[in-house]
Structure 1
Amino acid sequence: MPDWLQSRHALITGGGTGIGASAATHLNAAGAKVTVLGRRAEPLEFVRNIVGGTAVQADVTDRGDIDRAFDEARATNGPIEMLIVNAGIADSAPFAKTTRESWDRIIATNLTAAFDCAQAALPDLLASEHGRLIFVASVASLRGVPYAAPYAASKHGVLGLMRSLAVEFARTSLTVNAVCPGYVDTQMTSDSIARVMAKTGRSEEQSRAAIEGQNASGRLVHPDTIGTMIMTLCLAQSQDVNGAAITIDGGTSA
C-alpha cells in the first residue's frame, strides 16, 4: 500500500478492540504513526504489537487524563494530525427503567468525552496541513432506538457536534466527519446479544439472528469496512469531504 499518510500521527480513542483496532491497522498500513488510547492495557498492547506506534492508557471521561495522555502521545509521535474519536459504550433498558446513573455514564463516555478529546487535539489539528477529526457515531445518530434512549441521545449529540465543527472550521485545512455504522461484529454487539438472551430467554443463535436482522444485509458489518472508510477520510484526497455522516449498515438506511 502506498505511504499515503506520510508518517502523520493518528490518535484513536477506544483503540484496543473492534473498530478502533481496525482503524489503527488501516491507518498504519497507509503510513501513519498510530497512538491507540483506552482504559485497558492488554488489548492496547496487543494492537501496538501489530501496528507499532504507541499505546496509552487513559479514561476519556476524565479531561485531565485526556490532556495527560495526549501529551504523552505527542512526546512520542509528534502533533496529533488525525483524531479518531471512537471510544463508546452502550446499554439497553425500557426508558421507564433507565437509571440516571446509566444516562450519565453513557453521555459522559459517548458525548462529553467526544467534546473533550476534540478540544484537546484542536490546536494540533488546525496546525496540520491536512487535519482530520473523525467521530465514530452510529445509525442511532440518525433515528430513534427503542430501549436505548441514552445511547441514541448521545450519538445524536455526536452528530450535532460533528456538523457544528465542520461548519465552524470549513475554511481551514481541518475536515470533520462521522461514520455511522449499523451493528458491527465487535464485542459491543456480542454484549448486546448477551443482553437479548438474558432479557428474552432466547438462545444465542436466536438472539444473534435478531441483532443481525437489524441490518438490511442480514449480517453484521465487518470492522474492516469501518477502518477502511476512516483511513479514506484521512487521505489528502478527501479534503472536500466535510460534515458528512457516512452510514455503513448494509443498506438499512437506504
Structure 2
Amino acid sequence: MGFADGRHALITGGGTGIGAAAARALAAEGAKVSLLGRRHEPLDAIAAETGGRAIPCDVTDRSAQERAFAEARDAFGPFDFVILNAGIGDSRPFGRTSRDSWDAIIATNLTALFDGAQLALPDLQVTGKRLIIVASVAGLKGGAMAAPYVASKHGAVGLARSLALEFARTGLTVNAICPSFVDTPMVDESAERIARATGKSVDEARALLAKTNGNGRLITPEEVARSIVNLCHPDSGGVNGACVTVDGGTSA
C-alpha cells in the first residue's frame, strides 16, 4: 500500500488538527495508527476513518500515558513512528499570566514530551524508527504576549535536538516540526481570545493571525502532515535533529 505498510504510528493529540491529518496521511501509506487524546468523540471518528485505535489519555498524567502506550502496543505491536503532537496555547501579558497557566502549558507542551519520549524509546532505538515532536516557529524565536507557550516550544525544540544527538548511532532519528499559525482548533481559540480582547469579529481575528504568516494565509493541517510523513519515509534517515519549518516563509 505504501512505505509504512504494516508499521505502527502512535500520535498524541490525534483527534483533531495536525494529529488527525497525520493519522490520515500515515494510514494512507499503510500504517496502523494509535490515536491518543483527551476527547473520545474526535478520536473515535478518526480511528473509524483510518482503521486505527482510539485511546483516551491525558498526556499530562504519566501513568495515563504509560497505560495508553501499553494498550497501543498490545493492539498493533512495537512503535515505528511516534509523533508527539498534543499541545495547548494561551495569550496574555506576562504580568497577568498566572502560575497555574504557566504550569498547565509547560505540563502539556513540554513535560508530556519528556514522558512520551521516555516511554517510546524502548521501541525506537532501531534503524528506520522515527520520533517526531510537533513544536512551533515560536520555538525558534521570541514572541510577545505568549511567554509560557514560547518557552514550552523552545524546550520542545531543545529536547528534539538533544535526543537526536544522544540516539543518533542507534538508527533512530528525532526531529521537530515547527509550524506557524495552522488552521486548527487551537487557532480558533486564539482568534476567540483576540476577538474578546479587541472587539473584532472572530473572522477578523483569524485574518490577523493569517497575516502574520509569511504567505499571508493559515497553514493547513495537511501541509504539516506531509512534512511529518516525509520525515517518516525511509529516504529521510539522514535527517536528524532538524527543525522543519512549515510557515509560508515566516522564519525566512
TM-score by length of 2: 0.98
- Contiguous gaps of at least 5 residues in structure 1: none
Tell me how far 1:253 sits from its aligned partner: 0.9
Tell me how far 1:216 sits from its aligned partner: 1.4
What is residue 153 of structure 2 aligned with on the other side? 155
In structure 1, give the amino acid aligned to 2:198: T
3-state DSSP of counterpart to 1:130:
coil
Alignment pair present for 1:232 and 2:230: yes
3-state DSSP of counterpart to 2:245:
strand
3-state DSSP of counterpart to 2:30:
coil
Alignment pair present for 1:37 and 2:36: yes
Alignment pair present for 1:22 and 2:21: yes
Identical positions, percent? 57
Distance 2:120 2:203 in 1: 43
In structure 1, give the amino acid aligned to 2:227: M
Tell me how far 1:132 sits from its aligned partner: 0.3
3-state DSSP of counterpart to 1:213:
helix
**Aligned counterparts, 1:56-135, within 5 A:** 56-126=55-125, 128-135=126-133
Distance 2:127 2:104 in 1: 36
What is residue 48 of structure 1 aligned with on the other side? 47
Distance 1:125 1:52 in 2: 23
1:208-229 CA-partner distances (Å, limit 9, x unpaired): 2211111011100010001111
What is residue 171 of structure 2 aligned with on the other side? 173
3-state DSSP of counterpart to 1:158:
helix
3-state DSSP of counterpart to 2:18:
helix
In structure 2, give the amino acid aligned to 1:210: L
Query: For the Cα contact (< 8 Å) 2:127–2:170, is it kept in 1?
Result: no
Tell me how far 1:63 sits from its aligned partner: 0.6
3-state DSSP of counterpart to 2:34:
strand
In structure 2, give the amino acid aligned to 1:9: H
In structure 2, give the amino acid aligned to 1:240: G
Instruction: Provide the alpha-carbon RMSD of the alignment.
Output: 0.8
What is residue 216 of structure 2 aligned with on the other side? 218
Distance 2:192 2:121 in 1: 38
In structure 2, give the amino acid aligned to 1:194: E
Tell me how far 1:204 sits from its aligned partner: 2.3
Alignment pair present for 1:184 and 2:182: yes
3-state DSSP of counterpart to 1:246:
strand
Tell me how far 1:188 sits from its aligned partner: 0.3
Tell me how far 1:203 sits from its aligned partner: 2.0
Distance 1:66 1:205 in 2: 36
In structure 1, give the amino acid aligned to 2:67: R
What is residue 196 of structure 1 aligned with on the other side? 194
In structure 2, give the amino acid aligned to 1:103: W
3-state DSSP of counterpart to 2:103:
helix
In structure 1, give the amino acid aligned to 2:110: L
Query: For the Cα contact (< 8 Å) 2:140–2:154, is it kept in 1?
Result: yes
Distance 2:202 2:239 in 1: 40
- Contiguous gaps of at least 5 residues in structure 2: none
1:102-149 CA-partner distances (Å, limit 9, x unpaired): 0000000000000000000100011x4311000000010011111100
Distance 2:211 2:45 in 1: 32
TM-score by length of 1: 0.98
3-state DSSP of counterpart to 2:213:
coil
Q: List 4+ stretches of structure 1 deviating above 3 A.
A: none
Distance 1:171 1:114 in 2: 21
